[in-house]
Structure 1
Amino acid sequence: MNWRFDRVGWRFLPGAIATMLIAGLFQIGALKPLEQVSYSMLFRLRGERHWDNRLVLVEIDDDSIKELGRFPWKRTEYVRLLDRLTRAHASVIAFDLLFSEPTPEDEWFAKAIGASNRVILAQGNGEEENLLLPVPRLKTAAVGSGHIRIQPEDDGIVRLIEPQAGGTVAFGIATVMTYSLLREAIASPDLSQPIWLNWAGHSDRISHYSFAKVIRGEVPNSAFKDKIVIVGVTAASIDAASTPFDRTPPASGVHIQATLIDNLLQRNSLAPATREHLFVVFAIAGLGFGILLSFWRTEIQIAIAVVGILGWIGISVVLL
């Protein structure tokens, strides 16, 4: 009996050691670089998905800056844009821009915001002690505002958005909540948990139009009718952002906000496993595979390990 127990016990030992080693590395964050590489790799393996067609981007691109002058612009330019988008019957107009400094054009801009009655404004860093709010007159005129706080990880990619910061909901959430009130009901996210971004694809695949072309009337009203319109900067060297699909050249910060809105509209944000669940998986997989593989020859063990890894990758890609 003791001999049989010793033999079975020894078969558990390699799996137990491997499980404790992996769990320990995971706990101290040593596997973080591998997680980041896997995150981006799985998106590329999955391939691109269509951006939600209820979403349109008006971009402050290099051509617009060349035509309208050095950025930031006078707010009269945004009045012109608001007039076009309001007459085009856009559902929501969300400015991913900070209007935190007063200017002589604020009264005119505030009247345009109020007349539109569908404008969301951005506010800066979500820390309450360092909050960059829109100019009070503009904030009062808008139907809502939201924070644009982001926290890129070591590789420069933003993987999650905090739904609330400094007592304010995220910019994308405020935008979709307004769309839900004005156009069609959209389920609200859980505000107690971070929202993990499910990147649709390359940033240039989203429906987008140059700011200058829109105010010149070169884009038909039908492009904006009943849409959520985000206004943000995509010009080179301003607010650059990396994504699993956009590294060289990078995307822009506005595409992070667009991704959050896209996920909320389609209800397809990621749902990562909790640490507790991962530790259970480590324990079962490590101990189970350890004793199971010990009964086979080395070449069979290697083959099973390879199949297991490929199976994990395949399941992960399908679930993205």
Structure 2
Amino acid sequence: MSRRSVILVLLGALSIALVVGLAGLFNAPPVTGLDRSVLDSLLVHTASGAPAAGTVVVDIDEVSLSALGQWPWPRYRVAQLIERIAAGHPSAIAMDIVFSEADRTSLADIRQTFKRDFGIDVSFNGVPAGLLDNDGYLGQVMAGDDVVGARYFYFDHASRSDGPLRPGVGFVGRLNLLSLDRATGVLQSIDAVASQTRISGFVNSRFDDDGVLRRLPLLIEYNGIVHPSLALAATMRSLGVASGRVESGADGLSIRIGSHRIPVDRRGDALLRFNGSSQRYASLSAADVLGGRVQPAALRGKIVFIGSSAVGLHDMHPTAVDRDFSGLKIQSVMAQNILDDQSVRLPVWGGKAALVLGLLLALVFAALFVAGCGLSLLASLFVLSIAALLATVVAVFVRAGLFLPIGGPLLVLGVLLVLSFVVRFAVDQRRAQRWRRQLDNARQVAIESMAAVAETRDPETGAHIKRTQHYVRAIAERLWRTGQHPQTLNKEYMHLLFLSAPLHDIGKVGVPDHILLKPGPLTPDEMKIMRQHAEFGRKIIYSMAEHIEGDNFLLIAGEIAATHHEKWDGTGYPDGLRGQDIPLSGRIMAVADIYDALISRRCYKDPFPHERAKALMRELDETTFDPAVLDAFFAIETEILQIAARFRDEEENPPAWVD
């Protein structure tokens, strides 16, 4: 390659790597998609498969709804469920349900309804005061067992707030480094419940643009106050920690609660790491808990999340490990990640490192390409590089929980490999074209050299050879355009026909001079010897063709030399072939050769005018000439005249064959 080409290749490769690296820094889809695929594969194949030890969910599942009534349940039943769970001494209880509307089955609500609609005062005897209001009773139970409540934040509309909304826990440290989502509205439980809840957390999720849940927001800002997610708040309650600290380290930001550190990005999101499918996270049916069929050991010391995975509540989400992961269990996954210190870390320097690595790989790849390394070596380098990258990513992920984004370098390698194949193919095509041109030139030189040998002894001129060569091609093209002989005529055949035509009389080198140069008519014996030039030509050309491998251009030349004196009615020589048995090349050459012989000066005759030559040739239709070939010849009469004028003999000025 030239120096300019080398520079262009190197700059092109580095430009591709730079564009891909910047795309990775700005989370462009192609690079992000590759990174997500690698991360998903890591999450699936490195999952421990061990059951979650520190969390459990109490599920108001389809069985519970079928046994105890459809949702919503009366609040006293939810309160009973909490009391049953609390009896098992869990480390924390979190409610993954927002009670945003009053319980219409409360006795107090029934009393008000009768008073309003019928003017009747209804009284209930023997009912403890606390049970008259289901919502108040639930609030009391949640307060007594210090249950973590749930809220949901809005970002598309505002909601009325009667006072400051407190999460019950606080956060300090490098909050200024965060760019948290700022909610404009909130959905929370009615005041009878919310006012008695000391700690609350939000249940918002965050889906990637491919619809897969890979991360959860742990912090959201609302009215200037930082709120925790339900999983984070429940874990803090379990650890007895009232405050978390935002810290900045070499890998980026993190939230420290007690002795645990949770890596987060600037938006306060944490990546999820799964032990396996949703079955790896313990689930107890609410009906079993209420029925006393659950052993206390199943709850003791664990963070318990109460919610529902019922299909009708539409809280199922696709994840890397399971296409149907309930939102309830997602909270359990995050809490277990915090307890196990198993959250995935995505370093802030990952994108820049990927950019630099992509540039280095592009430089090495391009250097090997310009050095002339074969595609097999480049493909091997591609495979080895990908294997090394993946092995490094897997090792770092397994040992340190650190995910290195390699989508950019992988894409750079893939693009460069494809471009290498494309460029090398284009270069090979150019070389092949150049080689074909050289081969064509060699063919032409060989043919012209052989024809020149014949010209030294043949009284016919070089102009005759040029004219017949162009006649032949023009006739063949006419036949091709009119759809004749489709199995034979194509561009390659017509090209070879054009190259081979000058050799039609090469056999005359074997005819003695006294016969070849005789100015008068030949005797029968002399004519017999003269006719042998067709056979001589065939032997000369085919003896040369035996030493050429592959697509042999001399085969058509041999056909022409051997058969251009055969006649349509079978009276020609040397083999007396008839009709279609005569090769097409010979039939075309016969028309071109005889026409030019008629209009040219010979030692034994003067040139005939064009019209007389036409008339004589028409007389030979279906005897000497193939009718279809002769018709094609007359159909391009104007072109024939132009060829004759262009390559006329030098001594003829003006041409003697023009009427």
What TM-score, normalized by structure 1, do the two folds share? 0.88
Query: Are 1:176 and 2:235 matched, yes or no?
Result: yes
Query: Are 1:266 and 2:340 matched, yes or no?
Result: yes
Distance 1:225 1:234 in 2: 23
Deviation of 1:214 (Å) = 0.8
Distance 1:297 1:48 in 2: 43
Q: Sequence identity of aligned pairs in percent?
A: 22
Q: Which residue matches 2:607?
A: none
Deviates more, 1:202-211 or 1:274-283: 274-283
Q: Which residue matches 2:96?
A: 96
Deviation of 1:14 (Å) = 4.5
Query: Are 1:315 and 2:314 matched, yes or no?
Result: no
Q: Which residue matches 2:320?
A: 244
Query: Quick one: which amino acid aligns to residue 298 of structure 1?
Result: L
**Shift in alpha-carbon separation, 1:188–1:138, aligned structure 2, 3 A:** farther
Aligned residue for 1:260, secondary structure, equals helix
Query: Are 1:30 and 2:107 matched, yes or no?
Result: no
Aligned residue for 2:94, secondary structure, equals strand
The answer to which structure, 1 or 2, has the higher relative contact order (CA under 8 A, 6+ apart) is 1
Query: Quick one: which amino acid aligns to residue 187 of structure 1?
Result: H
Residue 150 (structure 2) aligned to one of 115, 118, 122: 122
Taking only aligned residues, the RMSD between alpha carbons, in angstroms, comes to 2.6
Q: Which residue matches 1:187?
A: 260
**Shift in alpha-carbon separation, 1:30–1:151, aligned structure 2, 3 A:** same
Deviation of 1:134 (Å) = 2.2
Distance 1:201 1:233 in 2: 20
Aligned residue for 2:306, secondary structure, equals strand
Greater Rg, structure 1 or structure 2?
2
Deviation of 1:20 (Å) = 2.8
Query: Quick one: which amino acid aligns to residue 144 of structure 2?
Result: A
Q: Which residue matches 1:55?
A: 55
Distance 2:186 2:200 in 1: 13
Distance 1:261 1:210 in 2: 20
Q: Which residue matches 2:136?
A: 107
Distance 2:388 2:312 in 1: 40
Residue 232 (structure 1) aligned to one of 299, 302, 307: 307
Query: Quick one: which amino acid aligns to residue 191 of structure 2?
Result: P
Q: Which residue matches 1:303?
A: 380
Distance 1:273 1:279 in 2: 14
Deviates more, 1:69-78 or 1:188-197: 188-197
Deviation of 1:100 (Å) = 2.0
Query: Are 1:12 and 2:10 matched, yes or no?
Result: yes
* Residues 130-145 of structure 1 aligned to structure 2 (within 5 Å): 130-145=185-200
Aligned residue for 1:123, secondary structure, equals strand
Q: Which residue matches 2:358?
A: 282
Deviation sequence 1:28-72 (CA, Å, 0-9, x none): 623133333333233223344434301111112111111111112
Unaligned 5+ runs, structure 2: 107-133, 156-182, 242-256, 402-659
Aligned residue for 2:29, secondary structure, equals coil
CA contact (8 A) 2:56 2:303 kept: yes
What TM-score, normalized by structure 2, do the two folds share? 0.44
Deviation sequence 1:128-187 (CA, Å, 0-9, x none): 3220122233223233111111121233212222221123111111111111117x9442
Aligned residue for 1:132, secondary structure, equals strand
Unaligned 5+ runs, structure 1: none
**Shift in alpha-carbon separation, 1:300–1:86, aligned structure 2, 3 A:** same
| Aligned length, in residue pairs | 314
Deviation sequence 1:183-239 (CA, Å, 0-9, x none): x94425367542111222101111111111011010101110111111121122431
* Residues 191-206 of structure 1 aligned to structure 2 (within 5 Å): 193-206=268-281
**Shift in alpha-carbon separation, 1:303–1:90, aligned structure 2, 3 A:** same
